[in-house]
């Protein structure tokens, strides 16, 4: 089963082993869309459709993809299989499973053999995968780089505002306000 969603011309492909991973992977698409980066989203299994995964990875660059984000749970072979078939950077997102809380996925994705690198983010860390993909693209795109600088400044401003509120009223008042909001 293959599900596709495309926004603009895709520069980033988000691929997951199953459509059940979509809720965890949505954060990557949200971040990239926020930076006006074209996204393609699909689901293909490295175990149940290996030839389709190989074909997808081999052809991604031909249709404009520059970075691939691959999310997988349990055995989590998808990011490594994709990395074996493409020269594009691959970012792996370990998906939290009910049986091992995603630790098995993290190890499977992070422990790639020499010559087949996969950048790995935290378990269910799709948001960071999206930001990392934007940073990769931003090395050659001034618009994206400027958007990332603005994003980080906004993040800093929000953190400093929270710190000021904690300092002004104390942490107990801050926590009480958080429960009400």
- Please check whether residues 82 and 164 belong to one and the same domain: no
Contact (CB, 8 A) for 14 and 23: no
For residues 174 and 165, is the Cβ–Cβ distance under 8 A? yes
* Residues 150, 134 within the same domain: no
Indicate the average pLDDT of the chain: 93
Average pLDDT over residues 117-130: 98
Q: Which of 51, 48, 95 is nearest to 69 (CA)?
A: 95
Give yes or no: residues 63 and 94 share one domain.
Answer: yes
**Confidence class of residue 8 from pLDDT cuts 50, 70 and 90?**
low
The answer on 90 and 74 residing in a single domain is yes
Residue at token pair 């603009």: 8
60 & 116 share domain: yes
Range of the domain at 167: 142-180
How many structural domains does the chain have?
2
- Same domain flag for 92 and 174: no
pTM: 0.91
Question: Each residue of 92-110: b (16+ CB within 10 Å) or e?
Answer: bbbbbbeeeebebbbebbe
Backbone angles phi, psi at 40, to 5 degrees: -120, 130
E strands, 31-146, are 39-43, 67-73, 90-95, 119-120
The pLDDT of residue 5 is: 46
Do 74 and 92 share a structural domain? Answer: yes
Edge-to-edge strands, sheet with 12-16: 5-7, 39-43, 12-16, 67-73, 90-95, 119-120
Q: Examine the domain organization and report whether 170 and 104 are in the same domain.
A: no
Arithmetic mean of pLDDT, 151-176: 95
Q: Based on the fold, state whether residues 44 and 88 are members of the same structural domain.
A: yes
Q: Tell me: do 83 and 133 sit in the same domain.
A: yes
**Looking at residue 113, which CATH number applies to its domain?**
3.40.50.1970
pLDDT band at 181 (very low <50, low <70, confident <90, very high): low
The two structure tokens encoding residue 74? 């349990």
pLDDT in tens, 23-60: 999 999 999 999 999 999 999 999 999 999 999 999 99
Same domain, 174 and 120: no
The more confident residue out of 98 and 101 is 101
Quick check: 108 and 78 in contact, CB under 8 A? no
**In a shared domain, residues 164 and 121:** no
Cα–Cα distance for residue pair 127/2, rounded to 1 Å:
22
Q: Are 95 and 24 in contact (CB under 8 A)?
A: yes
């Amino acid at each position: 089963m293959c599900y596709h969603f495309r926004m603009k011309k895709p520069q980033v492909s988000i691929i997951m082993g199953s459509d059940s991973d979509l809720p965890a992977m949505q954060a990557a698409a949200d971040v990239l869309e926020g930076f006006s980066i074209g996204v393609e989203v699909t689901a293909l299994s490295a175990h149940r459709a290996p030839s389709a995964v190989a074909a997808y990875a081999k052809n991604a660059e031909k249709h404009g993809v520059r970075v691939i984000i691959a999310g997988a749970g349990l055995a989590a072979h998808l990011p490594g299989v994709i990395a074996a078939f493409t020269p594009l950077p691959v970012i792996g997102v370990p998906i939290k499973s009910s049986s091992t809380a995603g630790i098995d996925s993290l190890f499977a994705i992070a422990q790639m053999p020499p010559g087949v690198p996969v950048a790995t983010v935290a378990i269910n860390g799709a948001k960071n995968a999206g930001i990392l993909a934007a940073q990769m693209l931003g090395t050659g795109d001034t618009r994206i780089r400027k958007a990332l600088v603005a994003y980080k400044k906004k993040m800093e401003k929000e953190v400093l505002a929270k710190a000021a509120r904690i300092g002004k009223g104390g942490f107990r008042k801050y926590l009480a306000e958080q429960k009400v909001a």
